[in-house]
Amino acid sequence: MDNMKLAKEKVGDFLAKLGKERFRVPQETGGSSRFAPLNGESSVDFTLSNTTVPLKSLFYPQTETLYRYEVGETAMKAPGEADEMIIMGVRPCDAKALTIVDRLFSWDPKDPYYLERREKATIIGLACQEPRLNCFCTSLGGGPASTEGLDILMTDLGESFLFQPLTEKGEKICQEAGDVLVKSEDSDVQAAEKVHKDAASKIVRKIDSEGIPEKLPQLWDSQIWKKTSEPCLGCGACTFLCPTCHCFDIQDEIEGLEGRRYRVWDSCMFKEYTLHTSGHNPRPTRRERTRNRINHKYSYFVDKFGVIACVGCGRCINLCPVNVDILNILSQVKEAL
């Protein structure tokens, strides 16, 4: 399908034509941002930098009911069907992160909750123009205009957005939009390529991951883990807000006569995460927990699923209250290898 173009003054028409209720867009509330349904307004602020809460929260919500039951009964009722979603303005690193999490949730047995939402979602990406200080996507096979996990790549050309459909889902959206979109010119594509290139050149932080997955576990007893985990408060922000972290807890909750079993994000940085009922804890201190976090992302996940579970979005660096910096840890790892 041809590349298309959406004039900025027609964004409202685009949303209306496809049905506003289907859209999820970046929204800022109370100092943090996340993807959320359009709140009545027909305008979207596409100038926001990557959302604080990653895209994963739309597919794998922080708290999610697995099934409900009545107290004293044994019948279990799974929640209804997932909504169809068009997610617009997704940064390429977050879309790439989904393709990583997909591998885990598609691993036998499949996770029906996550996969149903994935199947029903169309993702319209927005190429980054102003990478942030701690972005390092280019070190991990991504980039400001990476298309992995996207159905359409959108690039800001000033007066309009270039729409490059990448999948059947993406083409369908372009067709549905009808004459709200117009065909793009070759010059638009050239302009977009320049935007992409300029953005990539603004990424300053880097890591050469070569050799890390194979050799990382050999640094088991290295001083790195004690040193780099010392400032850690164990708040879990690095994992909750990581677009590839997927660990969860399962709990029961009763309210009145109704009960539910739900899953809720959990973090390997918490002591309780691995605590046995006996009181024994195989990862008793922040040292072991930090070691596991880095090993899981950069070695164990590669071992199981063939890809590093990090996209270089920089959230764990930006949001850590005590400046624990994964690139700093990785460069110490590189030195020690």
Partner 1 sequence: MKENPYQPYVATIEDTWYETVGDRAVKTFKVTLDDPEARKNWSHRPGQCAMVGRLGIGESMFCISCSPTEGDFLRFSVMRAGKNTQGLHEQEVGDKITVRGPYGNSFPLEDWKGKHILTIGGGIGQAPLRPIVEYVKANLDQYAGLTMIYGARTSGDLCFRNEFEEMMKRDDISCHLTIDIEEEGWPYKVGFVPSVLMEVNPSPENTIAITCGPPIMIRFVLENLKKLNFADEQIYTTLENRMKCGFGKCGRCNAGNLYVCKDGPVFSYSTLKNVPEAFA
Candidate segments 66-74, 117-125, 197-205, 316-324, binder of partner 1 by CB under 8 A? 66-74
- The backbone region for 234, taken as left when phi is positive above 0, alpha when psi lies in -120 to 50, beta otherwise, is left
Which residues, 6+ apart, have CB-to-CB distance to 35 below 8 Å? 24, 25, 26, 27, 51, 53, 55, 57, 58, 87, 89, 90
Is residue 304 close enough to count as binding partner 1 by CB under 8 A? yes
Closer by beta carbon to partner 1, 124 or else 216: 216
Closer by beta carbon to partner 1, 230 or else 258: 258
Using alpha carbons, select from 256, 243, 263, 255 the residue that is nearest to residue 309: 243
Closer by beta carbon to partner 1, 158 or else 282: 282
β-pairing, 152-156 with 121-126? Answer: parallel
- In the complex, least distance from residue 275 CB atom to partner 1, rounded to whole angstroms: 7
Total residues contacting partner 1 (rule CB under 8 A)? Answer: 50
Q: How far is CA 115 from CA 34, 119, 272, in A?
A: 21, 6, 28
Closer by beta carbon to partner 1, 111 or else 151: 111
Closer by beta carbon to partner 1, 148 or else 288: 288
Is residue 69 close enough to count as binding partner 1 by CB under 8 A? yes
What are the DSSP calls for 111-163, one per residue?
Answer: -HHHHHHHHTEEEEEE--SS--TT--GGGGT--TT--TT-SEEEEE-SSEEEE
- In the complex, least distance from residue 315 CB atom to partner 1, rounded to whole angstroms: 18
Closer by beta carbon to partner 1, 141 or else 259: 259
Candidate segments 164-172, 174-182, 290-298, 319-327, binder of partner 1 by CB under 8 A? 290-298
Which residues, 6+ apart, have CB-to-CB distance to 256 below 8 Å? none
In DSSP terms, which residues pair with 252 in a beta bridge?
261
- In the complex, least distance from residue 9 CB atom to partner 1, rounded to whole angstroms: 43
Choosing from 160, 244, 290, 292, the residue that interacts with partner 1 (CB under 8 A) is: 292
What are the DSSP calls for 160-196, one per residue?
Answer: EEEEEE-SHHHHHHHHHHGGGSEEPPHHHHHHHHHHH
Residue 204: both structure tokens together = 């300053």
3-state secondary structure of 8: helix
Candidate segments 72-80, 140-148, 186-194, 226-234, binder of partner 1 by CB under 8 A? 72-80
Helix pair angle (112-119, 92-106), 10° resolution: 140
β-pairing, 258-265 with 4-7? Answer: unpaired
Residues 159-218 that bind partner 1 (CB under 8 A): 217
Residues 222-281 that bind partner 1 (CB under 8 A): 246-252, 254, 259, 261, 263, 266, 268, 273-278, 280
Buried b (16+ CB within 10 A) or exposed e, 213-233: beebeebeebebbeebbeebe
Choosing from 31, 40, 256, 282, the residue that interacts with partner 1 (CB under 8 A) is: 282
Residue 230: both structure tokens together = 């010392």
Is residue 295 close enough to count as binding partner 1 by CB under 8 A? yes
Closer by beta carbon to partner 1, 116 or else 156: 116
Closer by beta carbon to partner 1, 73 or else 159: 73
Residues 77-136 that bind partner 1 (CB under 8 A): 78, 104-105, 107-113, 116
Closer by beta carbon to partner 1, 55 or else 219: 219
For binding to partner 1 (CB under 8 A), which residues are involved? Answer: 66-67, 69, 71, 73-74, 76, 78, 104-105, 107-113, 116, 217, 220, 246-252, 254, 259, 261, 263, 266, 268, 273-278, 280, 282-283, 288, 292, 295-296, 299-300, 303-304
